[in-house]
Amino acid sequence: MGSTFGASTIVHFSAALLLSAIVSVPWHGIGPVAVLLGLAGLSGIIYSVIVARRLRTQTEYNPVFEDWLFHVLLPLAAHVTLVVSAFTAPSHLGAALYAVGPVALLLLLVGIHNAWDGVAYHLFAKKDIHS
């Protein structure tokens, strides 16, 4: 269960930090930024598919809609937005970069939610098993 729920939380925090670092560098052009944003987005899409498969196949816990929303759907939407931003950056730079901020914030909030949810699960659901 840790690889399904715990690892994705670290990935979301790391992705938010990486995006912040990418857009903070004083690049000489948009090309390298667009490539890095596209690669980050593509990596996130692949990882979201992996998490969805893990969520579907794990047997310790029956995922509810909130789990699908915060572990798969919202991160997937964020990463798709990054890929779209990467492709639109050369022609619509402002709009593309304005999308990166909300994506980083969304990934940070998803990470916070998932960390809180994981702690609450272990405190309340797992507590009954060990008592």
- Return d(Cα 88, Cα 74) in angstroms, integer: 21
- Return d(Cα 40, Cα 87) in angstroms, integer: 13
Q: What's the pLDDT tens digit per position in 84-98? A: 999 999 999 889 989
Quickly count: other Cβ atoms within 10 Å of residue 21's Cβ.
Answer: 10
Q: According to the model, what pLDDT value does residue 102 have?
A: 95
- Return d(Cα 16, Cα 106) in angstroms, integer: 8
Q: In this structure, what token pair is assigned to residue 18?
A: 């990486």
Domains in the chain: boundaries: 2-130
Q: In this structure, what token pair is assigned to residue 86?
A: 């990467």
Q: According to the model, what pLDDT value does residue 47 have?
A: 95
Residue 1 pLDDT greater than 70, yes or no:
no
Angle at 88 between CA 9 and CA 100, to 5 degrees: 30
